[in-house]
Structure 1
């Protein structure tokens, strides 16, 4: 596990800024309203120099049940998504659907030859049909592939990640186009590209969540590790020399280049090298396959190749080179498309399904894009800065949350995203009065059941708390950087949990629980803190 822990720490450290909060450990003892059972968890040795914050209120009346340090700005990580995704859901509506049309430029002759270009107008659809279940829901797993490299493994969703592009290509063929004597272009101008945590610039077109999945399987000592990858496309392929070593050897899986900057150029290849010890048991799933991912750094280039290849499978010949930079210079003026030239369209599942996906697995790029989609719908905000400003205006006017109570730098909770407990509770209570509260509530991970709370089970060792399973609907947040006192070691800057509890008493309560500045040795300690917060939420279920 140690190489996995090290890889996770390095990735988190690379995207984080060093922030220190003043320890309030002594102040914990001065608050008599917090039950002793909860205090005992907060006063474990690991939290000796940590800062805790908690606020618990009755959802209907707003009466404060417990309060500790709730006015302090705390690092909340992905709890930030309660604001960005909630605002987008409230703005767009639960039944909003993304429509991704395809237009032709030029004329189609009697033999089906289009003399001109084919343009896919990106809509910001996060899945492009690539996670669509037969029942109309979006497929999710408890260990999402977006975090495979950080967590050390994942479970892949089963739908075909290219399904939406295949559907569009089939419609183009059905429209009578057999040959495209021109180019294929992705119109990605919906919003200005924004940088995602130093990895790449996000655009409003997605294929397989902008990652390439590498699947590794078990082999005997001294043998090559069987591997495969998806999606299969000329835009990016994978090679591997990964081998199985002795049982006493270490796990060492390297992906290079990572991130690959060659997407849009021919011969773009990712290499997997290193060693897997014989008898190795993959983390999280305790079974093979073992999953790793390469980042798709040029989403429009990649999607263009994918679409051209889908067209070929549908029987449409494209004369342009499949692997090349997306030729944006061929695009017409924005807003100039005519319905008469539309030849295909992909309509998404309702937006409430996207909210469920983003919240259950804590999909960071999905939350950042949700902020952009909110900004576009609210005030035609096309940049991340403008979207943040539009959100601030709504938080102030609609939810009555002063801007002094939070600091957001993106939509997902990256870096020094902070908020007070008071602000988080105000958002939770505000959302409970909106028409979209039901899908908002249902989208949150459920304690001991699904999403990022599926593995929280520590509370079940106490029979009096076991009834809390399924009763806590809450968002998690984790923020790890380097230890200021030991620069080569990780440090849990923030671990947060916030949402709703259907308490044993019959009341529904809103709560936020955050701890900052916890020295750790690796991911095992992070999971231990995670379990402690889950146990405290179960105690709140029992006490209220």
Structure 2
């Protein structure tokens, strides 16, 4: 209970005590003042406030955290606990959890099997390929040659005495579910290579190269070639060669249904060729068809068609099969380079479903997200600072707080797998999505960070070292900007230059 005394009585009661305190004050030095803020740190925060307060971004929201890895001090924070659409900074979450839970030596294994015996040079039955979600059967992992693995398989089949396959080439993608896209992916991105389908049998990361070369003269049709060349993708050419000096307007789109594509627009007569990538429908059928074509080109006859097992009636599916050989992927430590440096979306989705299959027994995105949640909780990261929808960051349903990404980066800095993770990140002015940025500045070769871009979103999170030798970690995300991504980059890089020149914080 609190007793309230009349003012005059309380003054009389406490007057001796007040007098005693006054006497003590006269003989005791005053307490030392609280330490003043470090001027350099205070100036740094003011400088970053000025940078991120740029009026060009008055209608946008910045989330920024900068922290010393040496002292643990937070040097700057702006909306660090708020949730932002991270774009490809989500790959930091997928990549780190995959590396920590699956391990750097994890490898995908694709099984090549037969449904019948091999006798007198014939495989008397079907050739069945059982997928594991391997993203490396692709040009990106074989010096630009998408068919390299399939030609090696032809050699292996010959080594097993196979000169002819009497049956079909069947693709089995059941290691994962049949959902080909991430949750919340935009329908109007589906032609583009970065929105290609994902599945248990992934060939060339779900894309084909399309080269459109000018025709012999204005008014003639251009010449279209595919890489890899395949009958699986019929091409309708509705384009023309235009007069020299005209604007190049070639567009490659998928047909409304099926695997076909349409080439439309104009290519000027003085433009030798235009090359682009297009996403292909039904990866498993694409995989099986190009494999069959490669086997035939390598001298192995194939009597049956190339098919996706899911398109066969149950009675038409193989009831038994015997493994001939197994294709083993490069280790995850190498796959991460092909994931993080170029910001490859399909690998992000395959890794997420792989985490779900290996750790939760289900090859689904939701199982993968549950595995990510368990891992990051074990690292001590707050669950309500991450809302994950996919593995790549293409979905706008993803939300994350800069502080969560800082937690990911700090955890990885302490991990035995740190060097693998660090080496897989883009390096400013050197490689990956940062190859063209920060060149000729002290940040070149110094900043190792993950970029991120979708419409009205730009992000950059990673590591750097100051001129004084202090290691730093940072996360910078802007949402709802209506200017160019380069404008956002300008602010982020200005902040990093300020950080580079910051005196040691201890």
Question: Do Structure 1 and Structure 2 share a fold, with TM-score over 0.5?
Answer: yes
Q: Structure 2: how far apart are the matches of 1:540 and 1:246?
A: 52
Cα 1:468–1:248 change in 2 (3 A) is same
- Residue 351 of structure 1 and its aligned partner are, at CA, apart by 1.3
Q: How does 1:467-478 map to 2 (within 5 A)?
A: 467-478=442-453
Distance in 1 (alpha carbons) for counterparts of 2:276 and 2:147: 19
Alignment of 1:16-415 (within 5 A): 34-109=44-119, 111-128=120-137, 130-133=139-142, 158-196=143-181, 197=185, 198=187, 199=190, 201-217=197-213, 224-246=221-243, 249-258=246-255, 261-263=257-259, 269-277=260-268, 289-322=273-306, 329=314, 330-331=316-317, 341-397=322-378, 399-413=379-393, 414-415=395-396
Q: CA deviation at 1:225?
A: 4.0
What is the root-mean-square deviation of aligned Cα atoms in Å?
2.6
Paired with 1:107 and 1:375, the residues of 2 have a C-alpha distance of 35
Give the direction of change, closer, same or farther, for the CA distance of 1:62–1:35 in structure 2 (3 Å limit).
closer
Deviation at 1:223, TM superposition (A): 5.6
Q: Distance in 1 between matches of 2:318 and 2:471?
A: 53
Q: Pick from 502, 510, 518: which aligns with 2:473? A: 510
In the aligned structure 1, how far is the partner of 2:437 from the partner of 2:421? 21
Say whether the 8 Å CA contact 2:341–2:426 is kept in structure 1. yes
* TM-score computed with the length of structure 1 as normaliser: 0.76
Gap runs ≥5 in structure 1:
1-30, 134-157, 264-268, 281-287, 461-465, 481-491
Q: Helix, strand or coil for the counterpart of 2:93? A: helix
Match of 1:149 in 2: none
Residue aligning to 2:15 = none
Q: Distance in 1 between matches of 2:362 and 2:68?
A: 36
In the other structure, the counterpart of 2:487 is 528
Task: Tell me how many residue pairs correspond in the alignment.
Answer: 448
In 2, distance between residues paired with 1:324 and 1:97?
24
Is 2:168–2:306's contact at 8 Å kept on the other side of the alignment?
no
Distance apart, 1:246 and its partner CA: 4.5
Assess, with a 3 A threshold, how the Cα gap between structure 1 residues 173 and 469 changes in structure 2: closer, same or farther: same
Q: Note closer, same or farther for the CA distance 1:246–1:86 as it changes in structure 2 (3 Å cut).
A: same
Residues 188 and 300 in structure 1, CA contact (< 8 A), matched pair in contact too: yes
State whether residues 187 and 331 of structure 1, in contact with CA within 8 Å, keep that contact through their aligned partners in structure 2: no
Q: CA deviation at 1:74?
A: 1.3
Aligned residue in 2 for 1:495:
458
Q: Deviations over 1:335-364 (max 9, x none)?
A: x76xxx322322222211111111111111
**Structure 2: how far apart are the matches of 1:527 and 1:316?**
52
- Aligned partner (choices 427, 433, 454) of residue 479 of structure 1: 454
Q: Residue 482 of structure 2: which of 510, 519, 523 is its match?
A: 519
For the structure 1 residues 451 and 201, does the alpha-carbon distance in structure 2 shift closer, same or farther, using more than 3 Å as the test? closer
Alignment correspondent of 1:484: none
State how far apart, in whole Å, the 1-side matches of 2:273 and 2:132 are. Answer: 33
CA distance in 2 between counterparts of 1:193 and 1:178 reads: 33
- Tell which deviates more after alignment, 37-46 or 418-427: 37-46
Q: Which has the larger radius of gyration?
A: 2
Contact 1:33 1:66 in 2 (8 A): no
Q: Structure 1 residue 444: deviation in Å? A: 0.7
Structure 2: runs of 5 or more not aligned: 1-40, 191-195
In structure 2, how many angstroms separate the alpha carbons of the residues matched to 1:331 and 1:472?
A: 52
Deviation of 1:32 after TM superposition, in Å, equals 5.9
TM-score (structure 2 length as normaliser) = 0.82
